[in-house]
Amino acid sequence: MPEGATKPPLWVRAAVWTASRTAALPVGIKAALFVALLLHGCGLWWGMPASDAWDNDGVAPRDFLPGLAQTFTPGEFYTYPPLHLAFLAVLTLPVTIVAVLRAPTLTVAGVLHEIIEPPYMTTMAMTARVVSLVMSLGIVVALAKIAEEIAPRGKERSAAVFTAWFAALGAPFTFYSHTSNLDVPSLFWASFAALSLTRAIVRREPRRLRTFALLAACGVATKDQAYAVFLYGAPAALALWFVLDDWARKSAKTIAREAGLAAAIGAGFLALVDGAIFNPTGFRARVRFLSGSASQDFAQYAKTAAGRWLAFLDTARYFERHYPAFLAGFIALGLVVLLVQVARRNKRDLLIAPEARGLVGALIPLLLVLSFTLGFNLVARRVEERFTLPQMLFASIYGGYGVAVLWTSDWLAKVKPLAWLVRAGLVAALSTALYRCMTIDATLLAEPRYQTEAFLASHVQPGDVVEVHGLNTYLPRFPPQAKVVRVDHRPVDRRGPLPGVEEVRQPLTDIAKRNPRWVVASDCYVWRYLERPDIGFLSSGGRMLPPTQALEAADQDATIFFRQLYGGQNGYHVADDAYVHEGLFPRVFLHASLSCRTVTFERNAPP
């Protein structure tokens, strides 16, 4: 830079750096990123514009500033760590400022009344979703770079390219890249932390452990469960490094010093950001909450050896929720061939061979997969798409290498017709995963609530009362002429406010007194009352009914009301039944958010 020149802003330098790095990527990775951009961007406007979003457990559009305030208010805490909340709060600060300036008063109630209007909330929600989309592309790049680091010489490029494709074509990954849930942002940091850990070992550059620790801390400061990715995986990788690499043993003091410094950097950053320093009482309360009701009240498996073993098995079985089941063969092939090829290079003496570090690098994704399974799934005893996403993404490194092995096979290349046939088969195999991702997008575009909204807009007359139930995330948007009333027997101040919605606290079964013309109910909310195990059910073969579901199942008022409503026994009939129709793309139900069948009931005409 010329002397006296003004230094560009940080965001400009970051953009230039990112553009330069992206330009250097192989064409195959760029193509995978372009496809991922299309998959993760299609339907990004799902449920918008609105005063609230349909992202179940998402942090947008309402949790940025309240979450930060709770994190740093003595004695209080928010469910999630504050790093991503702070990032989104900064990005949406202009929106917040405009809302404050236009609020009728500067009181909390006055600002809240203004800021929950759709223009503000939509901007905040879409900002968070775009950030998730961009971070999802970053994850693809990080995983491709890990594959490049651990692949044998001459295979780096193909391993990186096919890892990018394999990672980009996970179906739940496609869904969560559309939402403001914190899973993708936390895995963004975790994937780059894994890249730094891999480079520190494979390149014998222990100083990179500092970067690893900082990035890993960012992941945990985004969503706590990211700790499990490295809890056992990182120490195991370092231990194997000492066992297998003579250089590591000779450099033990240097590595130990860097590892200790890295631990201090990671712990210090996490304590600073996570509120432990500024709000120790709130931090302790949040840790108790996370290790208690936040996890155990939703546990799906008994706290027994049988329950944990079943959770371990189900973690592997969930592969078919992410990819077509047969693609697991590529992961197995990639893992086996990679280890064999690396070991073959070290066949003279594995413990002192110069390339022994390559074996450790090849094992790092596997160690991270096992670490999250042992450190989270078996502790929280939960196995769902978002709680198996880390394993599937890191396993995609082996899947990509398995595809690369067949695509670049020397012996297949000698028989060109066979080589082209195999490559066509590989394209077809990956296309099945692409189809699954397209199904997610098609479901987003055909969300049943859109049909419900169209029905209400054309049938609800001015002054008609529309009764609704459940959290904001389950509700469609309502036409302006409707008088919308939300009924529940829980306190009004525990509900997310919605403009134009009247909050009523009353037993649901008193519907005859309220006498609304319309009732709208979402299966994503009422399933717990319509189809549930016996409330006396506790466990079977290691499985258990989560305590929260047992509590909901004991709600006699809601159970009686919804069963009568759906059974046509309380003076209402089905006027519109909105659901995703099976066609070219089948219905996908995910995270009690996507593809929620929504039924509109109308009061029966008097005899």
Nearest to 575 by CA among 488, 469, 454: 454
Question: Tell me, what amino acid is at 289?
Answer: F
- Greatest CA span in the chain, whole angstroms? 92
pLDDT given for residue 19 in this prediction: 60
CB 170 within 8 A of CB 433: yes
DSSP state for residue 594 in the 8-state scheme: B
**pTM, two decimal places:** 0.93
Whether 161 and 408 have beta carbons less than 8 Å apart is answered as: no
Percent of the chain whose pLDDT exceeds 90: 71
pLDDT of residue 47: 96
Question: Where in the chain are the domains?
Answer: 10-46+125-444, 448-603
Residue-level pLDDT at 10 = 59
| Burial bucket for residue 16 (CB in 10 Å: 0-12, 13-18, 19+) | exposed
- Residue 219, token pair as written in the block: 């992941």
Write down the pLDDT at residue 290: 83
10-14, 162-166, 422-426, 558-562 — which is least confidently predicted? 10-14
Q: How confident is the model at residue 503 (pLDDT cuts 50, 70, 90)?
A: very high
> Which amino acid is residue 247, in one-letter code?
W
CA dihedral 116, 117, 120, 122 (to 10 degrees): 100
Q: Return the axis-axis angle of helices 183-202 and 389-407, rounded to nearest 10°.
A: 50
**Residue 602 phi/psi, 5° resolution?**
-120, 145
The whole-number pLDDT of residue 542 equals 80
**Nearest in space to 84 (alpha carbons), one of 190, 174, 196:** 190
Phi, psi values for residue 132, rounded to 5°: -60, -40
What pLDDT is attached to residue 544?
80
- Sign for the pseudo-dihedral over CA of 307, 308, 309, 311: positive
DSSP 301: B
Angle at 131 between CA 126 and CA 137, to 5 degrees: 130
Mean pLDDT, range 255-265, rounded to an integer: 96
Distance from C-alpha of 149 to C-alpha of 159, rounded to nearest angstrom: 9
Mean per-residue pLDDT for 258-285?
92
In this prediction, residue 12 has a pLDDT band, given cuts at 50, 70 and 90, of low
- pLDDT exceeds cutoff 70 at 13: no
Decide if pLDDT at 569 tops 60: yes
Both tokens of 223, joined, read: 């969503």
Residue 348 pLDDT grade (very low, low, confident, very high; cuts 50, 70, 90): very low
37: how many CB neighbours lie within 10 A of its CB?
17
Residue 572 phi/psi, 5-degree rounding, is -130, 150
pLDDT for 383 beyond 80? yes
Lowest-pLDDT range of 342-346, 424-428, 465-469, 523-527: 342-346
pLDDT at 537: 41
Amino acid at site 257? R
Q: Once rounded to an integer, what is the mean pLDDT over residues 67-94?
A: 93
Q: What is the mean pLDDT of the chain?
A: 90
Contacts of 235 (CB under 8 A, 6+ apart): none
521 has a pLDDT exceeding 70? yes
DSSP 466: E
Of the pLDDT bands very low, low, confident and very high (cuts 50, 70, 90), residue 165 is very high
Which residue, chain included where needed, has tokens 């196995």? 383
Q: What is the mean pLDDT of residues 238-264?
A: 94
Q: Flag whether pLDDT at 532 surpasses 60.
A: no
What pairing do the DSSP bridges indicate for beta strands 539-540 and 543-544?
antiparallel
C-alpha to C-alpha distance for 485 and 554, rounded to whole angstroms = 25
Interval 114-157: pLDDT, tens? 999 999 999 999 999 999 999 999 999 999 999 999 999 889 99
Determine the pLDDT at residue 426: 95
Half-sphere exposure of 392 (CA within 13 A, CB side): 31
pLDDT digits over 392-434, tens only?
999 999 999 999 999 998 777 778 888 899 999 999 999 999 9
Q: Cα-atom radius of gyration of the chain, to the nearest Å?
A: 26
Label residue 355 by pLDDT band (50, 70, 90): low
What are the pLDDT digits (tens) for 75-88?
Answer: 999 999 999 999 99
**Over residues 485-492, mean pLDDT:** 91
469 neighbors 488 (Cβ within 8 angstroms) = yes
Task: Give me 82's structure tokens.
Answer: 């504050």
The predicted model gives 98-108 an average pLDDT of 90
What does the alpha-carbon distance between residue 64 and residue 270 come to, in Å, rounded to a whole number?
A: 19
Q: Is the peptide bond before 390 cis (omega within 30 degrees of 0)?
A: no
Higher pLDDT pick, 18 / 225: 225
Q: Which is more confident, 83 or 555?
A: 83
Residue 3 has pLDDT above 80, yes or no: no
Spatial distance between the Cα atoms of 575 and 485, rounded to a whole number of angstroms: 18
Q: Which residues contact 399 (CB under 8 A, 6 or more apart)?
A: 162, 163, 166, 323, 327, 330, 331, 334
Closest among 391, 357, 18, 393 to 208, alpha carbons compared: 357
What residue has token string 């979450």?
Answer: 67
Contact 559, 581 (CB under 8 A): no
CA–CA distance, 192 with 219 (Å, rounded to integer):
10
Tell me which of 1 and 91 has the higher pLDDT: 91
Of 328, 56, 32, 63, which Cα lies nearest the Cα of 176? 56
C-beta neighbour count of 19 within 10 angstroms: 10
What angle, 0 to 180 degrees and rounded to 10, lies between the N-to-C axes of helices 118-150 and 83-91? Answer: 130
pLDDT of residue 157: 95
- Residue by residue, DSSP assigns 247-285 as HHHHTHHHHHHHHHHHHHHHHHHHHHHTTTTT-HHHHHH
Amino acid of residue 408: T
Any idea which residue has 């297949």 for tokens?
Answer: 412
Integer Cα distance of 55 and 182 in angstroms: 11
